Amino acid sequence: MTGRPIGRIAVTGVGPVVEHGGRPAKSVIGEEFEVVATVFREGHDAVGATVVLTDTDGHEHRVAMHRVDTGLDAWSATVSADRPGSWSYRVEGWSDPYGTWHHSAVINVGAGVDVALMLEEGARVLERAVAEVPRSKEQAVTLTDAIAALRDAGQTPEARLGAGVAAEVQAELRERPLREHVTTSSDHPWLVERERALYGAWYELFPRSEGARLDDRTGQWRTGTFATAARRLDAVAAMGFDVVYLPPIHPIGRVNRKGRNNALRAEPSDPGSPYAIGSSDGGHDTVHPDLGTIDDFDAFVGHAHELGLEVALDLALNCAPDHPWVTAHPEWFIRRADGSIAYAENPPKKYQDIYPLNFDDDPQGLYAEIRRVVQFWLDHGVTIFRVDNPHTKPLWLWERLIADVAAGRPGVIWLAEAFTRPPMMHTLARIGFQQSYTYYAWRNTRDELTEYCTELAGPAAAYMRPNFWPTTHDILTPFLQRGGSATWKMRAALAATLSPSYGIYAGYELMERVARPGAEEQIDNEKYEYKDRRWAEHDEAGTTLAPYLRRVNQIRRAHPALHRLRNLRFHHADDEHFLVFSKARRIYDRDDVILVVANLEPEHTRDTWIHLRMPELGLDWPDRFVAHDLITGENWNWTEHNFVRLGPATEPVHIIHVRPEAVIGPR
């Protein structure tokens, strides 16, 4: 025989399970998700099912499952964890003597068949439940009273049966059931992480641009520094962001340095791409001298922490031709037939200023150096790594590195910047990356967004957490190139509400949307030059989306429903250019419900009827409720069917708080 024996009670189809239990399913502290299983047995006797959670200390916690589809023998339970670490769960299937008796007794006593026998069998089942299952005296009284009533010949059969199937008896046996023939599934690993692994608002900035100034007299740039960039952090925090993300801050190579807009020839004043790492000034464990010293970096991190911001650093395993590793460890690079080192290519893109690493000739030595570099930045306050192009490195590297770091620093978060084939993106998530870049930037229509987000919030959510970015320093989609402020508002609002984690690249507030001809990236790309965005002037003139981003982030923080992914539910609109979705979450004894309605062509005023799946909002189909728009402060009386008009003259997106206490229709 191969495989696990079936057991007395069949327990199959347990989920979520990642790679047949070879890798852990993931959640964060307090994140609820469903454990499902198929549980059945031969014949017609009743069965029950229980999820057994084993916490980090080895203690077991049992959660009753409920049947969700009788015909398919499908069972489900909602579970969550109260602390981070390595948990596991399994499903137990068991024969239910009380449930079997309950079903037969109701039928037979109602038909007058074997009445006395059925009532006595019920009393004996309850006696077993008292004797065999630990319970308090008060809990036992509920059952002993029912036993006495079942045997009370002075009462009618109907009254005696009623005592045996009373609601309080059923509730007690749901909580502490009498179980026979218990059969267990395998234990499945479950990794519980801190909330930032799932939820957070990111803001990307280049330190060299924050505080950079062009000298009109000389035509030369004065670079920004860690000190000037630290002054920008107050505005970032004021907009409500949680993470400040820095592209590489290391020395930049001088050999084959790229000029403006990726030009092959750099002018003497061109700073080069920060992804061409390394020079005579140092490598991956060094800060660019133009930015300051490592003490200045520490001060930057310290100020970020004072403002409640975590610092994410780009881990880009690229080397400029003059990186110290090229001389010290030539075996770490790929040699071509003519003896030269191969530069990086991603056809049609060519990166003559970057040498990719070779992990085949000295994998242990190279790994040890990378691990040392990561530890260096951990020791300087970095808690998150955004990994550049992880799909171009061996998968074993990330599996080993992330696990190794987690052994000493379990709260460190890794974001995979991989826009590549889905199998690679999903595998990176399975082997340890807490978050993943996605194709959100290129999903624009209702069908595209619905299909993609349903995938991400469905089975993939057990291991892959999306981070939605409308733009990055590499990406400026045609949709945003063509759009005005309504379009830029809409894409930011959707990113912030569809996904618990989303990111904004500096300059989004100013709607920087001029592309380099023939490319989906900005002209005068910040990767190759300084940017003086003159923030104060835009704030004074009101030509910035900063107030809108601040409001969206305030809404996110105030509404825990938006901190989750698996609770995403879509609703219908007659106009295909509208997207309607909701998120609901119970906090203690209250439901937080957010409903979002977006015009996906916001430069044009459009109207439509939307049709809500009221139970997804915690309401009954006939109910009415007050829809409070969290962007504008307006209120409307809404029902299942509502008329909506959105466009450039109003707002492109309704972010609506569904107020249960304000429901004025029938309940």
- Quick one: what percent of the chain has pLDDT higher than 90? 94
Q: What is the mean pLDDT of residues 256-265?
A: 94
Q: Which of 435, 310, 428 is nearest to 378 (CA)?
A: 310
Q: Is the pLDDT of residue 171 over 50?
A: yes
Contact between residue 651 and residue 492 where contact means Cβ atoms under 8 Å apart: no
Q: What is the pLDDT of residue 549?
A: 98
Q: What is the mean pLDDT of residues 131-146?
A: 97
**Cross-strand pairs, 200:** 501
Q: What is the pLDDT of residue 339?
A: 87
User: Residue 121: in which H helix or E strand, if any?
Assistant: helix 115-132
- Name, in order, each residue with C-beta under 8 angstroms of 137's C-beta and a sequence gap of 6 or more: none
- Quick one: what percent of the chain has pLDDT higher than 70? 99
Selecting among 369, 388, 509, 601, the annotated active-site residue is: 388
Burial class (CB in 10 A: 0-12, 13-18, 19+), 136: exposed
Average pLDDT across the chain, whole number: 96
Tell me the C-alpha distance between 323 and 332, whole Å.
12
Q: What is the mean pLDDT of residues 321-341?
A: 95
Give the tens place of pLDDT for each residue, 364-420.
Answer: 999 999 999 999 999 999 999 999 999 999 999 999 999 999 999 999 999 999 999
Tokens of 510: 């100013």
Contact between residue 431 and residue 402 where contact means Cβ atoms under 8 Å apart: yes
| Residue 290 annotated to the active site | no
Distances (CA, A) of 152 to 109, 120, 130, 160: 15, 10, 19, 7
Q: What is the mean pLDDT of residues 258-269?
A: 94
| DSSP-based three-state secondary structure for 628 | strand
Q: End-to-end distance of the chain based on CA atoms, in angstroms? A: 56
- Name, in order, each residue with C-beta under 8 angstroms of 336's C-beta and a sequence gap of 6 or more: 342
The angle formed by the CA atoms of residues 290, 294 and 298, to the nearest 5 degrees, is: 120
Q: Is the pLDDT of residue 346 over 90?
A: no
Distances (CA, A) of 309 to 28, 234, 244: 19, 10, 6
| Residue 640 annotated to the active site | no
Handedness of CA 68, 594, 204, 353 (dihedral sign): positive
User: Based on C-alpha coordinates, what's the Rg of the chain?
Assistant: 30
Q: Which of 191, 205, 295 is nearest to 243 (CA)?
A: 205
Contact between residue 101 and residue 114 where contact means Cβ atoms under 8 Å apart: no
Q: What is the pLDDT of residue 348?
A: 78
Amino acid identity for residue 243 in this structure: V
Q: Is the pLDDT of residue 429 over 80?
A: yes
Q: What is the pLDDT of residue 82?
A: 97
Give the tens place of pLDDT for each residue, 563-602.
Answer: 999 999 999 999 999 999 999 999 888 899 999 999 999 9
Q: What is the pLDDT of residue 2?
A: 60
Q: Is the pLDDT of residue 1 over 90?
A: no
Give the tens place of pLDDT for each residue, 442-501.
Answer: 999 999 999 999 999 999 999 999 999 999 999 999 999 999 999 999 999 999 999 999
Amino acid identity for residue 412 in this structure: V
Selecting among 31, 121, 417, 521, the annotated active-site residue is: 417
Q: What is the mean pLDDT of residues 205-210?
A: 98
Q: What is the mean pLDDT of residues 336-347?
A: 88
Q: What is the pLDDT of residue 7?
A: 86
Among all chains, which residue has been given the structure tokens 């026998």? 117
